[in-house]
């Protein structure tokens, strides 16, 4: 019984005299995975990423933060480390995340309403949710 391809099975591999052989690395690229929708996987991951919604502080908490900012101004900026909790807005989607940092306040920019940390980080005063540290008395 004759099997399929028996007539060509033992022929030597054809080597072209006119065209050089393709390097193995380029031949392997032919079989690499292909994504018809470039960037689709990244978009799916981005849409699945969770963000927090910014909550509003009550008047008591806002006043407490204002008093502590005044204390920093009066006592000098390097009088002690502060623990600061603030809301960082997400660059790609609605919402953001709450961040806690510890460090020294370099200065408070009243014109732009920002707190500038010694590290160079600028935090909008309206995004501050907590301000504690060694330099504060209980209010």
Written as six digits, the tokens of 115 are: 């707190």
Model confidence over 79-121: pLDDT tens digits?
A: 788 999 999 998 888 889 999 999 999 999 999 999 999 999 9
How far apart CA 15 and CA 24 sit, in angstroms, is 15
How far apart CA 70 and CA 125 sit, in angstroms, is 12
- Read off the DSSP letter of residue 2: P
Label residue 84 exposed, middle or buried (CB < 10 Å: 0-12, 13-18, 19+): buried
Model confidence over 41-89: pLDDT tens digits?
A: 888 888 888 888 888 999 999 999 999 999 888 887 777 889 999 999 9
pLDDT in the model for residue 23: 86
- List alpha helices for the chain, DSSP H: 24-29, 40-48, 59-75
Phi, psi for residue 63 in degrees, rounded to 5: -65, -40
**What is the CATH number that goes with domain 59-133?**
2.30.30
The model carries a pTM of 0.64
Domain boundaries, the chain: 59-133
């Amino acid at each position: 019984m004759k099997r399929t391809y028996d007539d060509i099975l033992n022929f030597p591999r054809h080597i072209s005299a006119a065209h050089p052989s393709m390097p193995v690395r380029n031949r392997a690229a032919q079989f690499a995975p292909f994504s018809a929708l470039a960037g689709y996987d990244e978009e799916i991951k981005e849409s699945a990423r969770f963000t927090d919604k910014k909550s509003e502080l009550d008047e008591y908490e806002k006043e407490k933060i204002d008093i502590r900012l005044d204390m920093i101004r009066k006592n000098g900026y390097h009088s002690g480390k502060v623990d600061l909790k603030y809301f960082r807005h997400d660059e790609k989607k609605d919402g953001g995340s709450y961040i806690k940092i510890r460090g020294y306040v370099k200065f408070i920019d009243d014109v732009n309403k920002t707190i500038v940390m010694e590290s160079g980080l600028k935090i909008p005063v309206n995004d501050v949710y907590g301000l504690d540290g060694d330099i504060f008395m209980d209010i």
